[in-house]
Chain A
Amino acid sequence: MTVETGAGPRPAASREGGEPLLTAEGLTKHFPIKGGFLFGRRVGTVRAVDGIDLTVHEGESLGLVGESGCGKSTTGRLLARLLEPSGGRITYRGRDITHASRTQLAPIRTEIQMIFQDPYSSLNPRQTVGTIIGGPMEINGIDPPGGRERRVRELLETVGLGAEHYNRFPHEFSGGQRQRIGIARALALDPKLIVADEPVSALDVSIQAQVVNLLRRVRREMGIAFVFIAHDLAVVRHFSQRVAVMYLGRIVETGDRDSIYANPRHPYTHALLSAVPRVRPEDGGRTRIRLTGDVPSPVDPPSGCRFRTRCWKAQEVCAEREPPLARLDGNREGHLTACHFPEDGPPGPPRPPGGDGGDGGDGAGRVKRAESD
């Protein structure tokens, strides 16, 4: 039914190497809300991550996108096992690490590393760059050939800093340089997987591009798999072969890059893409979708489809039944969408005038649609 635009040959790289490195099934994290005077009774639950399935293959980059509060950062922390899941299962290279203890996790910690968003608070201001980057080796008792110091100096050069920065302190560096230090620290143990939580969003545009290019090079040359968490859809598109879109603790759509960006089926994915301000708005008369309202609270998420309170296509069934994350008619393999009334066709330019079909039963003017010049 749908013509797959821009299909072309399947990007071979995305499944090459094939082996699933990390798998999450039904992953759940609920945070209790303590209340009351004295005794800290449990008065509610924040359903930060509420049953998601993910697979990261060796050497590939999986992008997690969504708005604040959708659970993407919590997911990242769960995957790196900095948090213990409330439910579900995480398997790393065939081993169940869902509830693994500190000692059981020790060998895995060297293989899964994190890069944090804030380059100012994620580096200890009282340690030198050498200590910071050498820290992971020291903690894990690893002595690379040639010594730790030499390895640190190499890493500094890999990330585009100078070996002479070894004895400096974080405050002597700019934000972009600090983020490079954070990357060098993550690379110190030759990890198999890096969970990068908004690694470039605190940086200025010109510096952001430098760091994105560096991460791309690292992934390509060292074959490290990434879980790349970001709210910026354009950055994710530039870095990840596969993308999962999250909303209120659930994955609403996932698929390879082309499917998500050229042929999104979930209304939320459409809305997200159309909300991104473009430098050249005149490029194509894209349909603008303006959502109203804010993301509901994860303490008390809506019944059925969680997006229905902001969706212009929502009908009764959306409140009654949660749509399964499934492959729709016309979707490529691996492109899954959780929606009862999926959108058709690309979000972007080639939408013939009047071809705005498929949104029958316009939902009570909840959304403003206008062709931009």
Chain B
Amino acid sequence: MSTWTETAGFEAPPDGDAFLSVRDLRVRFSTEDGTVHAVDGISFDLARGRTLGIVGESGSGKSVTGLSVLGLHDPRTTEVTGRVLLDGQEVIGAREKTLERLRGDTVAMVFQDSLTALSPYHTVGEQIAEPYRKHKGASRREARRRAIEMLDRVGIPNPRLRVDDHPHQFSGGMRQRAMIAMALVCDPDLLIADEPTTALDVTVQAQILDLLKDLQQEFGSAIVLITHDLGVVAETADDVLVMYAGRVVERGPAAEVLRSPRHPYTRGLLGSVPRLDGDVEEDLVPIPGFPPNLLDPPTGCAFHPRCAFVGEVGGTRCVDERPTPPAGRGAACHLTADRRRVLFAEQTDEQAAEQAAEQTEPRPR
């Protein structure tokens, strides 16, 4: 049996333009019940000024991937292998001192829940100023001036007054802005945003996504945007990785992946999302079954227990053999391109026919 890495052909040296290179990253947690394979061999590159969307459902390993880039896993309970190169600097296995220098300065993170990510005891201004003083050696006064400037930059009204507020005096949207200000205060080259808008209302979400885009244009940072929302990816990411059970199942330019998905899982996800312009009489097309248990992930292709096309691949390949992860645009699936096109088209027709049949049946009242 070949391993992921060998079949991947992804031993290629990091892309010359890449600011962040991840190679065959694996993260395992030891728990009482066994070992959780949270991330199971993923590789990607990201250049400055680009946004990479990592999409997946809970437990797909997308957040764990983000944390690995900052070296934030506890080495006592976590085993991290593979390579994470940040501007040529190896993160995995690096000394805590090195990591501390990188964090906040070269790479910064925006978390989902701003209420728990900000300290309730310190003012917003102090929290924004702290990394600036630490990394840039700025004086207290200078750092405060910088904090006000950043609050203004992220669109907080009256920054001179608000800089002395505590987080609880801010609304949810404002706290998220403050956290973005904190992340960007040292002009990091890479921003990792883990579900940055999930806790926010749609109108505020739109503001924050616009803000991230504007800031990226201004500072040219690279962004890793971790989200479960395909709409958010469509509107902000250049490229996308679709993750399932700790592995990459599909990758490519965001618009292309969302327009013509190649992996049955990606296709299933797209079919599950209710749309503002779809036919309301039609039922949604969910993916059957449940997400996998990562203590005991399915053999072969992790998606095979939920996949409609397992029988279409010769023999028991889907059950026994891991599909090759895509290196460029592509999907980790045993179906050949031609067969996939035919099957996807057939599935669409079948669903349409089923729906039509249901519509004509008299509905019990």
Interface positions, chain A 211-229, Cβ under 8 Å from B, are 212-213, 216, 220-221, 223
B206–A209 CB distance below 8 A: no
A277–B232 CB distance below 8 A: yes
Interface size class of A (residues with CB under 8 A): 35 or more
Please tell me if B315 contacts chain A, counting CB pairs below 8 Å. no
CA distance A275 to B313 in the complex (A): 42
CA distance A176 to B57 in the complex (A): 13
Which B residue sits closest to A65, measured CB to CB? B202
A280–B258 CB distance below 8 A: yes
User: Pick the contact of A208 from B210, B268, B272, B277 — CB < 8 Å?
Assistant: B272
Interface residues of A (CB under 8 A from B): 59, 67-68, 174-177, 204-210, 212-213, 216, 220-221, 223, 231-235, 237-238, 257, 261, 271-283, 290-295, 348, 368
Please tell me if B307 contacts chain A, counting CB pairs below 8 Å. no
Known interface pairs A220-B363, A281-B235, A282-B255; A209-B274 also in contact (CB < 8 Å): yes
Interface residue count on the B side (C-beta < 8 Å): 50
B273–A234 CB distance below 8 A: yes
A67–B203 CB distance below 8 A: yes
Which A residue sits closest to B284, measured CB to CB? A209
Known: A210-B288, A295-B201. 13 other contacts (CB 8 A): A67-B201, A68-B172, A174-B291, A204-B57, A205-B272, A208-B272, A221-B364, A231-B201, A233-B202, A271-B203, A282-B255, A294-B171, A294-B172
A294–B173 CB distance below 8 A: yes
- Nearest 10 CB-CB pairings of A with B: A277-B231, A209-B286, A209-B272, A67-B201, A204-B57, A209-B284, A206-B287, A275-B206, A210-B286, A234-B274
CA distance A235 to B274 in the complex (A): 6
B277–A277 CB distance below 8 A: no
B274–A238 CB distance below 8 A: yes
Please tell me if B275 contacts chain A, counting CB pairs below 8 Å. yes
Which B residue sits closest to A59, measured CB to CB? B365
Q: How far is the CB of B112 from chain A (nearest CB, A)?
A: 14
A206–B269 CB distance below 8 A: yes
B202–A292 CB distance below 8 A: no
Please tell me if B109 contacts chain A, counting CB pairs below 8 Å. no
Q: How many A-B residue pairs have CB under 8 A?
A: 134
CA distance A295 to B259 in the complex (A): 35
Interface positions, chain B 199-248, Cβ under 8 Å from A, are 201-207, 209-210, 228-232, 234-235
Max chain B Cβ within 10 angstroms of own Cβ: one of A208, A223, A235: A208
A273–B174 CB distance below 8 A: no
Which A residue sits closest to B202, measured CB to CB? A275
Which A residue sits closest to B258, measured CB to CB? A279
CA distance A220 to B202 in the complex (A): 30
Known interface pairs A209-B286, A273-B276; A278-B231 also in contact (CB < 8 Å): yes
Please tell me if B121 contacts chain A, counting CB pairs below 8 Å. no
CA distance A247 to B75 in the complex (A): 48
B284–A279 CB distance below 8 A: no
A272–B235 CB distance below 8 A: no
B284–A212 CB distance below 8 A: yes
User: Pick the contact of B290 from A68, A177, A278, A280 — CB < 8 Å?
Assistant: A177
CA distance A17 to B259 in the complex (A): 41
Which B residue sits closest to A293, measured CB to CB? B157
Please tell me if B280 contacts chain A, counting CB pairs below 8 Å. yes
Please tell me if B338 contacts chain A, counting CB pairs below 8 Å. no
Known interface pairs A213-B283, A237-B276; A290-B269 also in contact (CB < 8 Å): no
A205–B203 CB distance below 8 A: no
* CB-defined contacts of B205 to chain A, threshold 8 Å: 275, 277
User: Pick the contact of A272 from B202, B258, B259 — CB < 8 Å?
Assistant: B202
B276–A261 CB distance below 8 A: yes
Q: How far is the CB of B194 from chain A (nearest CB, A)?
A: 16
CA distance A291 to B157 in the complex (A): 14
* CB-defined contacts of A231 to chain B, threshold 8 Å: 201-202
Which A residue sits closest to B271, measured CB to CB? A209
* CB-defined contacts of A273 to chain B, threshold 8 Å: 276
A294–B174 CB distance below 8 A: yes
Interface positions, chain B 173-199, Cβ under 8 Å from A, are 173-174
CA distance A216 to B281 in the complex (A): 10
CA distance A37 to B289 in the complex (A): 55
* CB-defined contacts of A237 to chain B, threshold 8 Å: 274, 276, 280
Q: How far is the CB of B193 from chain A (nearest CB, A)?
A: 14
A276–B202 CB distance below 8 A: yes
A213–B284 CB distance below 8 A: yes
Which B residue sits closest to A67, measured CB to CB? B201
Please tell me if B117 contacts chain A, counting CB pairs below 8 Å. no
Task: Identify 20 residue pairs between A and B in the complex whose beta-carbon atoms are under 8 Å apart, listed by A's number.
Answer: A67-B202, A68-B172, A206-B272, A207-B57, A207-B286, A209-B272, A209-B284, A220-B364, A233-B276, A234-B273, A238-B274, A272-B202, A272-B203, A275-B206, A278-B231, A279-B275, A281-B234, A290-B210, A294-B204, A295-B201
B274–A277 CB distance below 8 A: no
User: Pick the contact of A279 from B173, B207, B234, B363 — CB < 8 Å?
Assistant: B234
CA distance A208 to B272 in the complex (A): 8
Q: How far is the CB of B361 from chain A (nearest CB, A)?
A: 11
CA distance A205 to B233 in the complex (A): 14
CA distance A208 to B291 in the complex (A): 12
CA distance A246 to B338 in the complex (A): 49
* CB-defined contacts of A208 to chain B, threshold 8 Å: 272, 286
CA distance A273 to B365 in the complex (A): 32
Which B residue sits closest to A206, measured CB to CB? B287
Which B residue sits closest to A292, measured CB to CB? B207
Q: How far is the CB of A116 from chain B (nearest CB, A)?
A: 19
A277–B234 CB distance below 8 A: yes
* CB-defined contacts of A292 to chain B, threshold 8 Å: 155, 207
